[in-house]
A and B are shown apart, each in its own frame.
Chain A
Amino acid sequence: MSKDKFTTLKTTAVPLPNENIDTDQIIPARFLKATTREGFGDNLFRDWRYNLIPGPSPEEKGVETPNKDFVLNDAKFSGKILVAGKNFGCGSSREHAAWAIYDYGFRVVVSSFFADIFKNNALNNGLLPIVVSDQFLKQVLQAVEEKPSTEIVVDLENQILQVGAVKESFEINTYKKTCMINGYDDIDYLLSLNKEIREFDIAH
């Protein structure tokens, strides 16, 4: 199924400097019960977005109130880029994490390091993970935190991320880049190999 095409993006960003943000934080397991891909954005970072006042027993749910200290609840910050600390997306392989980030409205996640499975999942859903150096990540976070209206430009064709006057080039493999730009996915390619795969299957 084709995805949205991605070429360039100019937008403000949301800073989330925590390191090792795992997919259980991005979308807690109890929200994985849906059988479609839509609607996960409402529960993105659910347990960080809301404070829970526990009920008197495990059976009684308790009350949730928005956590005003959490960046998604801070009106100052908005935009289609999430800038996050090192080792983003570690833990569970749940693709729901990528769906939730996308569904919430983000199109790019910038970090100095991504967990492997998350990176694949993101790319398979038109969400662009951009790896920058630790140094550049620090600069981006600082720029956005100091001035939330800071605009970031993502140029996928030329593989450049620009924040104000500073920029850094980023790596993405040619195949995934082509997929992102054209909105292709892996199945389109694999289906074209059907004959070879059949032969392989029979031989093994």
Chain B
Amino acid sequence: MSQLKPKTIFEKIWDSHVVKRAEDYPDALFIDRHFIHEVTSPQAFDGLKKRGIQVFNTSRTTATADHNVPTKDQHLPIKEALSRHQVETLRKNCKEFGVELYDLGHAYQGIVHIIGPELGLTQPGMTIVCGDSHTSTHGAFGNIAFGIGTSEVEQVLATQCILQYKPKTMKIEINGKLGKGVVSKDIILYIISKISASGATGFFVEYAGDAITNLSMEARMTICNMSIEMGARGGLIAPDETTFNYIRGRKFAPQGEAFDRKVEEWKKLTTDEGANYDSVLKFDAADIAPMITYGTNPGMGMKVTDRIPTVTELKEISEQHSFTKSLEYMGLEPGSSLLGKAIDYVFIGSCTNARIEDLRLVADMVKGKTKASNVEVWVVPGSKQVEEQARREGLDKIFEAAGFELRSPGCSACLGMNEDKVPAGKYCISTSNRNFEGRQGPKSRTFLASPLSAAAAAITGRVTDVREFE
């Protein structure tokens, strides 16, 4: 009987959200939760105005200002005219259409993928979209979450649905014990370095294995966050007690008995025995070491103790041109090692690594130490709540004593849209997710790494193996 066909968790959630499936048409998929921000929403609201229609269900959309906001003096009007106009446009649109906005200065403001989970808006079994590719972050709670373009933001605002073809499924299983100095960021950088920046294009990933289930919720979010960096549509992790405990008591989570009932439902969100994936990859946690990227896409990563490949070591000849161009941009020699390389900036932030656990990791490592004189260190918390928590725990004092600057929340130097830019030619160790040319500012050079590796580099002023760091 067809209804007994074993399903993956992905298929269970997808199939239960299809409003209409018609031949030759993509599925009309119902969206439970929609997040918007100032950069990818104005043209979508414009579209609604031109059509003369309202937001379909305002209770399913939440807005915040994050991409294009200053991380200093947030209480003052934004200095730069275009940025100010963009944030003001968001305000106007939210007011006009009745969408809840966590604006600058609001206790819940922050990077969209950080505030969703911390407010309990992100829950298992949901479909979640946002006009931002790192929407995959929310998948850590066992839901289907993916990034969309502005035309699709308009679709969701107008109809609470999106037209999508069902992607293929991929399972990535990691078992074993993580070595010293290895954290979740290293796991995902390792996987991407193995399968390349396009290795999962067309797939939706499920992460499994005890190296994943042993992680905290925040560490799981770091993994799912970077699914897009291997081309995947999204990535999820089946919900378990860790997930339920994280959600319990959060602002918008179901409360009391309603919560218990939900948990019973959420427990069914597992992949059935015998369900089929289109692709299965397995990795051994023991093979993973602290990682760093050396090139201009996240697939160009290696163990921090490795050396950069030479042109002849590349798997495909067609890659040579891009590889050479990339290393030229980075000012690095093929075949060289990065250990000991002097850096100029350290950025601890972004939706990948700016949650409270990340800040604690960093603070633990740098407590009683001071930064190297050649580096500038920015710590940008992912949300107002993270910032407040850090202050309550006294992390701000540790950072201050170390010579780190604790800023106000936003995307900041992850994409360099505001004034937080790494200058041309300078090297930055960054806990963010993209090392593209110019990502952190025109001609900036990015090394992606874990918060631990970034903290160590801040103290030594150089690319450092955290396992050797005292």
Give the interface of A toward B (CB within 8 A): 1, 17-20, 22, 24-25, 28-30, 32-37, 47, 52, 54, 57-58, 62, 85-87, 90-96, 98, 113, 115-117, 120-121, 124-125, 134, 173-175, 185-187, 189-191, 193-194, 196-197, 200-201, 204
Measured between beta carbons, the chain B residues less than 8 angstroms from A197 are 19, 28, 30, 56, 159-161
Give the interface of B toward A (CB within 8 A): 19-20, 24-26, 28, 30, 32, 39-40, 42-43, 46-47, 50-51, 53, 56-57, 67-68, 82-83, 85-86, 89, 131-133, 147-152, 154-155, 158-163, 165, 167, 197-198, 201-202, 228, 231, 233, 297, 299, 318-319, 321-322, 325, 415-417, 419, 421, 423-425, 434, 436-439, 441-443
Query: What's the least CB distance linking B92 to chain A, in Å?
Result: 10
Task: Please determine whether B24 and A175 come into contact, CB atoms closer than 8 angstroms.
Answer: yes
Of chain B, the residue at the smallest CB distance from A19 is B322
Question: Which of A19, A117, A134 is the one whose CB lies under 8 Å from B319?
Answer: A19
Question: Given A22-B297, A185-B151, are A92 and B322 also a contact pair (CB < 8 Å)?
Answer: no
Task: Please determine whether A115 and B231 come into contact, CB atoms closer than 8 angstroms.
Answer: yes
Question: Given A87-B201, A190-B159, A201-B160, are A134 and B318 also a contact pair (CB < 8 Å)?
Answer: yes
Measured between beta carbons, the chain A residues less than 8 angstroms from B163 are 186, 189-190
- Complex: A89 Cα to B4 Cα, angstroms: 39
Task: Please determine whether A116 and B325 come into contact, CB atoms closer than 8 angstroms.
Answer: no
Question: Which of B24, B150, B436 is the one whose CB lies under 8 Å from A25?
Answer: B436
Query: What's the least CB distance linking A98 to chain B, in Å?
Result: 7
Of chain B, the residue at the smallest CB distance from A122 is B149
Question: Given A93-B131, A187-B154, are A47 and B442 also a contact pair (CB < 8 Å)?
Answer: yes
Measured between beta carbons, the chain B residues less than 8 angstroms from A186 are 151-152, 155, 162-163
- Complex: A79 Cα to B163 Cα, angstroms: 32
Question: Which of B155, B165, B416 is the one whose CB lies under 8 Å from A29?
Answer: B416
Query: What's the least CB distance linking A1 to chain B, in Å?
Result: 6
Query: What's the least CB distance linking B50 to chain A, in Å?
Result: 6
Question: Which of B32, B160, B202, B416 is the one whose CB lies under 8 Å from A30?
Answer: B416
Query: What's the least CB distance linking B435 to chain A, in Å?
Result: 10
Task: Please determine whether B321 and A17 come into contact, CB atoms closer than 8 angstroms.
Answer: yes
Of chain B, the residue at the smallest CB distance from A114 is B201
Question: Given A28-B442, A197-B30, are A1 and B150 also a contact pair (CB < 8 Å)?
Answer: no
Question: Given A24-B436, A190-B158, are A1 and B50 also a contact pair (CB < 8 Å)?
Answer: yes
Task: Please determine whether B202 and A116 come into contact, CB atoms closer than 8 angstroms.
Answer: yes
Task: Please determine whether B436 and A22 come into contact, CB atoms closer than 8 angstroms.
Answer: yes
Task: Please determine whether B297 and A98 come into contact, CB atoms closer than 8 angstroms.
Answer: no
Measured between beta carbons, the chain B residues less than 8 angstroms from A120 are 148-149, 152
Query: What's the least CB distance linking A52 to chain B, in Å?
Result: 5
Measured between beta carbons, the chain A residues less than 8 angstroms from B148 are 93, 117, 120
Closest 7 pairs between A and B when the two form their complex, measured CB to CB: A95-B149, A35-B42, A121-B149, A33-B82, A124-B151, A54-B424, A93-B147
Of chain B, the residue at the smallest CB distance from A85 is B322
Measured between beta carbons, the chain B residues less than 8 angstroms from A90 are 197-198, 201, 231, 297
- Complex: A37 Cα to B32 Cα, angstroms: 27
Task: Please determine whether A29 and B417 come into contact, CB atoms closer than 8 angstroms.
Answer: yes
Measured between beta carbons, the chain A residues less than 8 angstroms from B57 are 201
- Complex: A97 Cα to B178 Cα, angstroms: 39
Task: Please determine whether B198 and A87 come into contact, CB atoms closer than 8 angstroms.
Answer: yes
Query: What's the least CB distance linking B311 to chain A, in Å?
Result: 14
Of chain B, the residue at the smallest CB distance from A52 is B442
- Complex: A129 Cα to B223 Cα, angstroms: 30
Task: Please determine whether B152 and A124 come into contact, CB atoms closer than 8 angstroms.
Answer: yes
Question: Given A19-B319, A19-B322, A22-B436, are A193 and B28 also a contact pair (CB < 8 Å)?
Answer: yes
